[in-house]
Amino acid sequence: MPTSVSFVYAAFWIALGVVLPLFFHLILLGPSFLPMHLSVFLAGFTLGDKMGLLVGFITPLLSFFITGMPPPPVLQIMIVELAVYGFASGFFYRRLKLNLWLSLILAMIVGRVVLAGWVILLSLLFFPTLLWSTYIVGAFIGGVPGMLLQLLVIPPTVKILKFQI
């Protein structure tokens, strides 16, 4: 059961997920570093699967309403993708008690697989002009810098925050 403190931390991760992409875009690093993903993964690791899912669902929506990013139809894709990342990271690490690194890698894989399936489904049902194969390849290859950043930043941050939360 989430506590009021959990909701405060969730609000922090959501706020970070809105502000961090603005900073990355300001210094011209853009979406390839996946800045919004960082706060969602950290929410899952620090708050657990349910709150991670909530943060992952709300962050892109709130970001869109405040900043216009991510734009539709990327918004619809990122809502599902980030909700899965938040849930999976919390599920593997906090519920199944897997190693931090294994949890992160599994969450990254599960999120990318769901991303691919969701893009294919959306393209077939609603966006027939969306070339899903091009989008998926671009998301996987274009996201490599962000995935490397996640591997570099998330484990030490979780270890530091483990004593705080």
> Burial letters for 144-160: b for 16+ Cβ neighbours within 10 Å, e otherwise?
eebbebbeeebbeebee
Domain ranges in the chain? 4-161
Could you tell me if 26 and 34 are in contact, meaning their C-beta atoms sit under 8 angstroms apart? no
**What local confidence, expressed as pLDDT, does residue 165 receive?**
56
Rounded distance between C-alpha atoms, residue 136 and residue 145, angstroms: 16
**What local confidence, expressed as pLDDT, does residue 132 receive?**
76
Contacts of 163 (CB under 8 A, 6+ apart): none
The pairs formed by 117-122 with CB atoms below 8 angstroms and a separation of 24 or more are: 118/77, 118/80, 118/81, 119/77, 122/73, 122/76, 122/77
Band of pLDDT at residue 138, cut at 50, 70 and 90 = confident
Band of pLDDT at residue 149, cut at 50, 70 and 90 = very high
Higher-pLDDT residue of 136, 121: 121
**What local confidence, expressed as pLDDT, does residue 80 receive?**
97
Higher-pLDDT residue of 4, 31: 4
Q: Give the mean model confidence (pLDDT) for residues 36-54.
A: 98
Candidates 61, 45, 43, 57; CA nearest to 7 is 43
Six-digit token string for 150 = 């996640």
Select the CATH number that applies to the domain covering 4-161 from these four: 1.10.1760.20, 3.40.50.1000, 3.30.1490.20, 3.10.300.10: 1.10.1760.20
Please say if the pLDDT value at position 16 is more than 90: yes
Region of residue 3 (phi > 0: left; psi between -120 and 50: alpha; otherwise: beta): beta
Please say if the pLDDT value at position 164 is more than 70: no
Band of pLDDT at residue 1, cut at 50, 70 and 90 = low
pLDDT digits (tens, 9 = 90+) for 96-116: 999 999 999 999 999 999 999
**Count of Cβ atoms closer than 10 Å to residue 44 Cβ:** 35
pLDDT digits (tens, 9 = 90+) for 77-88: 999 999 999 999
